[in-house]
Amino acid sequence: MDKGSWTLDKRCVFPTASAINWMSLFSGVAPEYHGYVRWNSRKPDVTPVWTDEREEVPTIFRLERETHPESDILVTFQWDVIRSIVDSTAVTNCIQFPQTEEGDWEESSWAADYIKSHHPHFSFVYFGSLDAMGHQYGWESDEYLTYASHIDSVIKSLVEAVQDDDTVFVLTSDHGGHGHHHSSEYVDETLRTPLVIWGKGIKKGHQIGAPTVGMDITATLAKLLGVEPLPHWTCRPINEIFE
């Protein structure tokens, strides 16, 4: 947060479930448009509302591939549904790791080595084990906070291994939580999620003032990647973070 722009009140979409929110974050549109309406949806549950010949809403990964056909795009993950949501056919490497403490370190190390050797234009690294700790022990339980400290160390090792003068990092989650769940019963706690963006061209120590939702990350990534925004997106870039 000292090195970049941040908010602790980025909002997710309803329902506050994983596949729905990741798809909104990757596609720049709400569930009513992309059609993913279950926590583990691997394809649209209802017909997407779209304006071109595509059968599904394109993700930022697909748009990056179309804009920069030769670019290297990396995705690492632990929850197997992520493979379907990101549109794995658009990425160069899409690798799954165990959702365990050891798997966190393995994924971080592997991603760091890949990024340093291949210099991908766009990378997405997903750790799912902290969410599992929330479901098992409760959000903000002692066990959850201890594991959050572990994840902090894992992310630190990855960032320190790959940071350079040209890289921008985006740190966020798909949803919040309360008790052992993230249902709509506890609206504020399940909707509120952190977002920290830092690196080249990003304001330092800047608290984001504008209302921000997960979909806005799509438009912000498009601006960073040089991808043309789609006219029917229901998102906007977080312009105030740029120097």
Domain 13-163+173-193+209-238: top CATH class: alpha beta
Residues 204-213 pLDDT 10s = 999 999 999 9
Helical pair 101-118 and 129-137, crossing angle rounded to 10 deg? 160
Residues 3-27 pLDDT 10s = 999 999 999 999 999 999 999 999 9
What's the start-to-end Cα distance of the chain, in Å? 15
Distance CA 177, CA 200 (A): 31
Residues 94-150 pLDDT 10s = 999 999 999 999 999 999 999 999 999 999 999 999 999 999 999 999 999 999 999
Q: Which residues of 114-158 form beta strands (DSSP E)? A: 122-125
Tell me the one-letter amino acid at 85: I
Break the chain into its structural domains and give their ranges: 13-163+173-193+209-238
Parallel/antiparallel/unpaired status of strands 73-77 and 122-125? parallel
Determine contact, residues 114/120, Cβ cutoff 8 Å: yes
Q: What is the pTM of this model?
A: 0.96
